[in-house]
Amino acid sequence: MKTISNLSTIGDFIRWASTEFAKHKVFLGHGSDNYWDEAVFLVLGLLKQPWNSDKAIFHCHVTDEEKELLVTHIDLRIRKQIPVAYLLGEAWFCGLPFKVNTHTLIPRSPIGELIERGYEPWLAMEPDRILDLCTGSGCIGIATALAFPFSEVDISDISADALAVARDNVATYELEDRVTLFQSDVFDGIPAERQYDLIVSNPPYVDANDFDSMPAEYQHEPKLGLVSGPDGLDICRKILKEAASRLTENGLLIVEIGNSAETFEQLWPGSGVSWIEFEQGGHGVFALTKQDIMAGPWQ
């Protein structure tokens, strides 16, 4: 892709990037749902301008150095199919920016909507202690900690590289005194005496068939963050097996399993899970109380 000499303003580059994205049919699955927004995020992000800047910024001219930067990254987005969040090192979740890299999944869980409404109506209490299992960048645990300013939050992941990013995000939001990180294979590395009012998790849940057919953009994400055994439910099974012993008496478990909800229902029909509905899109997130888990067919 050669530098286009007659592009001179930010608006020119956004329009051009948008057209190129459409022409090359880049896959949109990590934040925006149209090529224009994808171009706005990339161009304004690279120029270190807020994504929601006043439209007047579109008339501003870019320097030759900035043109080089923009052309290089628009090219990477198209030819290498690298998601914008990885090109910028940042993704938004619950209206908050989070550092990300290729060791962390790009945040996009519908659980964000649940956090924004304080987990209502599912959570019947102000939780003292919360666990975000399989935390990746830490987005769910950190946004939850900000929603419940008096709660202690543990966040855990098996990946040391993901936890390094989560640690940076915890520091960005100055939550070191309330958010504790654990490197752990599901519950194995979390001290047994820690009991939680809320356990929330967006674990890997893609099944082997789905993974093979995912667009190239997803291949930049850590496979460890996506795949979970042949039917996508390996980690979910482990969570269900142990969650009851980690929850307080009135504790609540919330787990996202996306498309694997279908397999879940086939495996355990009539299991009593409540599937949460979302206004902003998303599916396959269930809620279970401690009692539901203990009575369930997965024990």
Q: Which residues bind ligand SAM (CB under 6 A)?
A: 105, 107, 109, 134-137, 139-140, 157-159, 162, 184-186, 202-204, 224-225, 235
Min dist CB 29 to ligand SAM, Å, is 13
- Token couple for 18: 């948008």
**To 5 degrees, how large is the angle CA 206–CA 190–CA 203?**
10
Q: Token pair 């102000």 is at which residue?
A: 126
Min dist CB 125 to ligand SAM, Å, is 23
CA pair distance 141, 18, nearest whole angstrom: 34
Min dist CB 291 to ligand SAM, Å, is 25
Min dist CB 156 to ligand SAM, Å, is 6
- Token couple for 17: 């990037």
**CB neighbour burial string for 206-228, b if at least 16 within 10 angstroms, e if fewer:** bbeebbeeeeebbebbbebbbbb
Min dist CB 36 to ligand SAM, Å, is 25
CA pair distance 71, 1, nearest whole angstrom: 8
What distances in angstroms separate CA 161 from CA 77, 100, 101, 133, one per listed residue? 24, 11, 9, 15
Cα torsion 296, 140, 103, 259: sign? positive
Min dist CB 49 to ligand SAM, Å, is 25
C-alpha neighbours within 13 Å on the C-beta side of residue 280: 14
Min dist CB 255 to ligand SAM, Å, is 11
Cα torsion 25, 96, 112, 259: sign? positive
Q: Which helix (H) or strand (E) holds 289?
A: strand 285-289
DSSP code of 259? G
User: How many CB atoms sit inside 10 A of residue 9's CB?
Assistant: 14
